[in-house]
Structure formats: structure tokens, C-alpha cells
Amino acid sequence: MATTPTQTVSSETSPLTLNFGPDTDFTVLADYCERFADSLIESTKPGERRVLCYRLAECLQLLSSTLNDPIPEHLIESLTADDFPAAVPAFDPEPEDLCRYCLTLAQILNDHNFCAAEESALTGLLFELTNYFADELRTPRFVRSPLTM
């Protein structure tokens, strides 16, 4: 992972003005990706949405290249805790949203031509989402109550 000390950016700063490069810490890149995605989902301007999507992809590509690098020494303390957190990040969309995500990916794969790597990534994502969705739908939701006499 990159070894530049963590940069701080005001939440007031537009994500369109964020600067990052090969020396940006992976934790900062993750924060930037989140900011790009948040802004993308809130934006209604087509041009701004395209730029945000491009910047998100650029940041994700850079982040992807650091995933197998050792964690820099200056980040070890911030990633260390006495106990594991009680809550961990989880993917938990509503069933309607998850179905919509799967359907949209299936339609995109059906309607568009992609290079082999893109098609493989989208197909893998569709596979993972569809399996997750199916598992969620089959998961028991109710507990039998004992018969009372």
C-alpha cells in the first residue's frame, strides 16, 4: 500500500477537486471513492455525473493496484484495536433494490458489448449478487413457537 502520510480533506471540498496519485494512502483512496460514489448518487447533472464516474473509476483503479501491498508503518496504529469492532461493514440492501441491481446488470450484459475483462467482472458481480439475493430469499424468517397446552 502507498506510504504517503494520510491527507485530510474538508467534507466541504468538492470531490471533483480531490487530488490523488500513486503515493496516496489506500485509506484516503477508499475515503475518496466513497465521496465520489456519494456525490454520484446525489448528482442530477449528466456532465457532472460522467466526471464523477470517471474520477471514481480512476480512484478505484489506483486503489486496486495497492490491495496486495504491505500496510505502511504509519497506518498500522490506526488499523489496530484492543478488540474487534462489534459492528463490521455489511452489504444489506433491501430485497427490491438487490433484485433491481441484479436485473440491471443482466440487462446491461445482454444489451452491450464489453471487452473480455469487463464482461468477466460484470458477470462475476452478477453471479455474486444473484447468489446473495437467492440466499437472502431462502433464509428462514420465522421461528416456530412451541405448542402450548
pLDDT of residue 5: 44
Quickly count: other Cβ atoms within 10 Å of residue 119's Cβ.
Answer: 13
> Which comes out higher in pLDDT, residue 95 or 6?
95
- Residue 148 pLDDT class (50, 70, 90 cuts): low
3, pLDDT greater than 50: no
Dihedral angle at the C-alpha atoms of 91, 94, 95, 97, nearest 10 degrees?
-90
pLDDT digits (tens, 9 = 90+) for 28-85: 999 999 999 999 999 999 999 999 999 999 999 999 999 899 999 999 999 998 888 8
Give one DSSP letter per residue of 10-73, joined into a string. Answer: -TTS-GGG----TTS-HHHHHHHHHHHHHHHHH---HHHHHHHHHHHHHHHHHHHTTTTSPPPH
Model-wide pTM > 0.85: no
Report domain extents, the chain: 1-81, 90-139
